[in-house]
Structure 1
Amino acid sequence: MNGKKSPHPAAKASANGHNGPPVGSETTIAGPGADQPQAEEKRVVDEPPDGGYGWVCVVSTFFINAHTWGINSSYGVFLAYYLANDYYPGASALEFAFIGGLSISQALLISPLATYITRVYGTRTTLLLGVALETLALISASFTHEIWQLFLSQGVCFGFGMGFLFVGSVGIVPQWFTRKRGLANGIGTAGSGLGGLMYSLATNAMIDRLGVEWAFRILGILACAVNCTCAMLIRDRNKAIGSIQLAFDYTLFKRPAFLLLLGWGFFSMMGYIVLLFSLPNYATSIGLSAQQGSIIGAVLNLGQALGRPLVGIFSDKAGRINLAGLCTFIGGLFCFVIWIFAKSYGVLVFFAIIVGTVAGTFWTTIAPVGAEVVGLKELPSALSIVWIVLVLPTTFAEPVALELRQKIGNTYLHAQIFTGFMYVAAAVCMCFLRVWKVGQIEQIAAEQEKKPDDIDAASAEPVDDRAVSFAAKKPKSSVLKRLFIRKKV
């Protein structure tokens, strides 16, 4: 024995393009005698607990989503009421359509600032700022008398509050889980579906019995109480995993896989927003009552509440990219084969609940899929860019759908076709992302001299060109083979 040790595998960590070890890897920490050949090494494993207090964070995220995205989902009920009663004299249908999308786009637009505040002041500060802004928005909306005031309150201010709460909570759950990441994320995001179900029905009832003003005030009080409690319970693991909280990391745009991720999000949101806000109004356009329209919107959210945990469970088993692409395609297929022909209350209820199970697949899987594309450390930076890119589709999707309406015949036919094609385009992006992921696994397998089947896709950290000098000499399988090969990715 000469006292020398072979380099630990962790020494190769820098080769994966990150500034530190990937989550779940072993970091070697040298003791005081590190300069001596026989110094002992201490290994620290920063591995997510895959449970424990993480479930408290899941429940807290669930209720935050219910009282942000869930409340925002009830805008379809407000929209139907505004259009039917000329609530703001002189306001056009197009102006009302912008408000629902505006709240979502502003939530995404504020994400870089929210990410910066999270880095400097912490997650809890970001969440509490969101609580204050959302409460202010809902209460102030109850005192509006002109459409521009509604733009500022229910549109911009509510969107800012929702954005702070969303950015502060969206990256928490993946930090606590590995094998159960899809399930945990699915449960957390299901809150938006359940919240949408409850508040679509409750909002319609409150408007009928108490008026629009008190409907806003009650929503504001409830949101404040629940979100404050959840903000105090949530804990992040940013320090434990060395998370990079940069608002923009422009180097991500050099990665083709990340561009495909952006394309998937862009097209998914174009379809999702139209479904979310158009279904109640579509119901009234085929002769159903406003109450039936609100029930249709509620059933869509019920489908999301039921479907998102299932998407999470099966994505852990079948592969996150695989299931995200499949469910996105199914959403478009349902629009073509069911929605276009839905002319009765029963068929529309069936469509709402079945399409709801897959319509929000993006929100369920974006964090787990994003982690596989860029890694957990760079996930906050990647998500910040994703949210900014989604500003355009979330702002203009519903106005585009309203402009596509026809005055005679099937009023929403063009909007329905548009929605279906958006989901299909998003699914195509996921197909190419699958091709990339399988190729990445082949590269890692070649570098480690293993078989591709021995590489776990979920734990495989993204690699850059510097990390695959050996693998680059190995021929990869064809694009078609990587597209159709049976592989959990």
Structure 2
Amino acid sequence: MAESDKQLESNESSNDSSIENAPETNPQSQGDFKEGGYGWVVIFSIWLLNAHTWGLNSTFAVFLAYYLRTGTFGTSQLGYAFVGGLSISIALLVSPLATTLVGWKRCGTRLTIFIGIVLQTIAFIGSSFATELWHLLLSQGVAFGFGMGLIFVASASVPPQWFVKRRSFANAIAVSGSGFGGLCYSLATNAMIAHVGLPWAFRILAIICFVVNSVAVMLIRDRNEAIGSIHVAFNWGLFRRPPFLLFQAWMVLSLIAYIILVFSIVDYCQFVGLSASQASLVGALFNLSQGLGRPMIGLSSDSVGRLNIANLCTLFCGLLCMFVWTFGTKSLAACIVFALLSGCVAGVIWATVAPICAEVVGLALIPSALSMTWLVLVLPATFAEVIAVSLRGPGPRGYLHVQLLTASLYLGAFVFGWALRAWKVWELEQVRLSKEQRELAIRDDGVLASALEQEPRIDAPQSTAAQRRFSMLKGLWVIERV
């Protein structure tokens, strides 16, 4: 294991020749590094952060259903939809700032996260005093999203730093916190609104998230200096890489579908005649399924292949939305079955984004690549639920267009993700690698890029363009662990 780590670290500094003026890396000796160890404490702390950022954000489905039902801040359905979209899009929009703050020695990971905690708490308190829709847009939308973005971006690249063989599993456990947080606070938020009212529901959530997140941030420890992480917020050279573009397409389509599903499921349940408490239960079970499903995705990814599992889960969710959600969810039991099945795989992008990013650009470039990815996702996140609300129609089949759109987006994401898998298979075939080197190359594109530069495969120097295209297309059907 130690030998593998040394080889991994030695290749990280050379994994992207397109970066200009990148800071020099100074990897620490890895003799005292063991996979896991304190890393499990880090995973637990990030689990708590995800539970009290994305988990709390998922309760917007409960708030949205309440706003639409009562018209508390007016009757603008699109306005309410923008609140949820803004919270996610702003979280992604601040990624360059968060990446820069983490790389700044006077700030770093912990202080960046704590600033986000303070902003998130202020957002909830501000929401409790809101009387008009624009108050809600600024507090629950912009301010909460800003705080959540600083917390999320600063912590997202930390789990892969502590693991190699179990990287996907560890990362999936960390992100499963959003599912369990969503489960707990979906039920709690509905109960608090009913018993203490909307303002005090916000205030209670503010107190909880500040206390828990403050404890979590004290436990986090990153290894940015040890692995030579490159915190370049705007690395436009990544967009010259075809695999990175395919990765972006998979992320964009998956995110739009995911936001529509997670924010619409509670309102859909009430749309088909379920009570507010029954709809809240379905939403909670959807989040429970996310919490249980993401570690399973991570565990299977480490053994079967990250790209394999990510794409199969994307395909499965698309089929569930196309056939189960569209035609078979009219009763409470049917909605619960759909929530449990879809919740396991709906958020596969969150369970696999960091490990797959390492396979696409290399471990050292994860901060830069994720920063660019979050920027690409800003507009899709802003308008995803707005599109869904605008597609809702009257009558018993009023959600049909929303359901079909969600299914089509997941299926489209699968197409791009499978093309990315084919590209990875083709790249691995270009070099001769030992079993251990191949494992490292699968997990870290920096290792593969270095191998391609040093020892390109020359089995068929006279191969035609058609043969090369066939070699690339072979990855579409070949059974291989990637």
Task: Verify same fold: TM over 0.5.
Answer: yes
Q: Distance in 2 between matches of 1:169 and 1:104?
A: 16
Q: Distance in 2 between matches of 1:109 and 1:327?
A: 27
Alignment correspondent of 2:46: 61
Q: Which moved more, 1:346-355 or 1:463-472?
A: 463-472
Give 1:394-413 correspondences, 5 Å limit. Answer: 394-413=381-400
Alignment correspondent of 1:37: none
- Is the 1:17–1:464 Cα contact (8 Å) retained in structure 2? no
- Is the 1:46–1:240 Cα contact (8 Å) retained in structure 2? no
Q: Distance in 2 between matches of 1:462 and 1:262?
A: 20
In structure 2, give the amino acid aligned to 1:150: L
Deviation, structure 1 residue 83: 1.2
Match of 2:345 among 336, 355, 358: 358
Deviation, structure 1 residue 409: 3.9
Match of 2:322 among 326, 336, 340: 336
Deviation, structure 1 residue 458: 2.1
SS of the residue corresponding to residue 430 of structure 2 reads helix
- Per-residue CA deviations over 1:64-88 (Å, capped at 9, x if unaligned) read 0000000000011111111111211
Alignment correspondent of 2:16: 17
Number of equivalenced pairs: 460
- The answer to whether 1:175 aligns with 2:174 is no
Match of 1:378 among 365, 368, 374: 365
- The answer to whether 1:209 aligns with 2:208 is no
SS of the residue corresponding to residue 229 of structure 2 reads coil
Alignment correspondent of 1:186: 172
- Is the 1:249–1:382 Cα contact (8 Å) retained in structure 2? yes
- The answer to whether 1:70 aligns with 2:55 is yes
Give 1:225-244 correspondences, 5 Å limit. Answer: 225-244=211-230
- Is the 1:104–1:394 Cα contact (8 Å) retained in structure 2? yes
Alignment correspondent of 2:472: 479
SS of the residue corresponding to residue 378 of structure 1 reads helix
Deviation, structure 1 residue 129: 0.5
Deviation, structure 1 residue 471: 2.7
- Per-residue CA deviations over 1:205-233 (Å, capped at 9, x if unaligned) read 00000000000000000000011111111
Q: Distance in 2 between matches of 1:204 and 1:80?
A: 10
- Per-residue CA deviations over 1:38-79 (Å, capped at 9, x if unaligned) read xxxxx9447962210000000001000000000000011111
Deviation, structure 1 residue 10: 9.7
Deviation, structure 1 residue 404: 1.3
CA, structure 1 residues 468+411, in 2 after alignment: closer, same or farther (shift >3 Å)?
Answer: farther
Deviation, structure 1 residue 464: 7.5
Alignment correspondent of 1:253: 239
Alignment correspondent of 1:141: 127
Alignment correspondent of 2:79: 95
Q: Distance in 1 between matches of 2:101 and 2:411?
A: 36
Q: Distance in 1 between matches of 2:98 and 2:479?
A: 40
Give 1:412-423 correspondences, 5 Å limit. Answer: 412-423=399-410
- Is the 2:50–2:178 Cα contact (8 Å) retained in structure 1? yes
Q: Distance in 1 between matches of 2:336 and 2:312?
A: 23
- Is the 2:442–2:448 Cα contact (8 Å) retained in structure 1? no
Give 1:200-349 correspondences, 5 Å limit. Answer: 200-341=186-327, 342-349=329-336
Q: Distance in 2 between matches of 1:242 and 1:450?
A: 26
Q: Distance in 2 between matches of 1:280 and 1:170?
A: 28
SS of the residue corresponding to residue 478 of structure 1 reads helix
Alignment correspondent of 1:119: 103
Higher Cα Rg, which structure: 1
Where structure 2 has 5 or more consecutive residues not aligned to the other structure, the ranges are 1-6, 20-24
Alignment correspondent of 2:22: none
Q: Distance in 1 between matches of 2:404 and 2:335?
A: 16
CA, structure 1 residues 469+216, in 2 after alignment: closer, same or farther (shift >3 Å)?
Answer: same
More helix by proportion, 1 or 2?
2
In structure 2, give the amino acid aligned to 1:298: A
> Which one has more relative contact order, counting CA pairs under 8 Å at least 6 apart?
2
Alignment correspondent of 1:109: 93
CA, structure 1 residues 428+46, in 2 after alignment: closer, same or farther (shift >3 Å)?
Answer: farther
Q: Distance in 1 between matches of 2:9 and 2:219?
A: 34
- Is the 2:16–2:361 Cα contact (8 Å) retained in structure 1? no
Q: Distance in 2 between matches of 1:208 and 1:12?
A: 56
Q: Please give the TM-score of this superposition, normalised by the length of structure 2.
A: 0.90
Alignment correspondent of 1:32: none
Question: Over the residues paired in the alignment, what is the CA RMSD in angstroms?
Answer: 2.6
Q: Which moved more, 1:194-203 or 1:473-482?
A: 473-482
Deviation, structure 1 residue 453: 7.2
Alignment correspondent of 2:4: none
- Is the 1:141–1:216 Cα contact (8 Å) retained in structure 2? yes
Q: Distance in 1 between matches of 2:289 and 2:11?
A: 45
SS of the residue corresponding to residue 338 of structure 1 reads helix
Deviation, structure 1 residue 131: 0.5
Where structure 1 has 5 or more consecutive residues not aligned to the other structure, the ranges are 1-7, 21-26, 30-42
CA, structure 1 residues 253+292, in 2 after alignment: closer, same or farther (shift >3 Å)?
Answer: same
Alignment correspondent of 2:419: 432
SS of the residue corresponding to residue 251 of structure 1 reads helix
Deviation, structure 1 residue 175: 0.2
Q: Distance in 1 between matches of 2:263 and 2:8?
A: 51
SS of the residue corresponding to residue 337 of structure 1 reads helix
- The answer to whether 1:388 aligns with 2:375 is yes
- Per-residue CA deviations over 1:177-234 (Å, capped at 9, x if unaligned) read 0001111011100000000000000000000000000000000000000111111110
Deviation, structure 1 residue 457: 1.8
In structure 2, give the amino acid aligned to 1:277: F
CA, structure 1 residues 280+47, in 2 after alignment: closer, same or farther (shift >3 Å)?
Answer: farther
Deviation, structure 1 residue 480: 3.6
CA, structure 1 residues 364+293, in 2 after alignment: closer, same or farther (shift >3 Å)?
Answer: same
Deviation, structure 1 residue 420: 0.3
Alignment correspondent of 1:163: 149
- Is the 1:17–1:467 Cα contact (8 Å) retained in structure 2? no
SS of the residue corresponding to residue 411 of structure 1 reads coil
Deviation, structure 1 residue 28: 12
In structure 2, give the amino acid aligned to 1:96: Y
Q: Please give the TM-score of this superposition, normalised by the length of structure 1.
A: 0.89
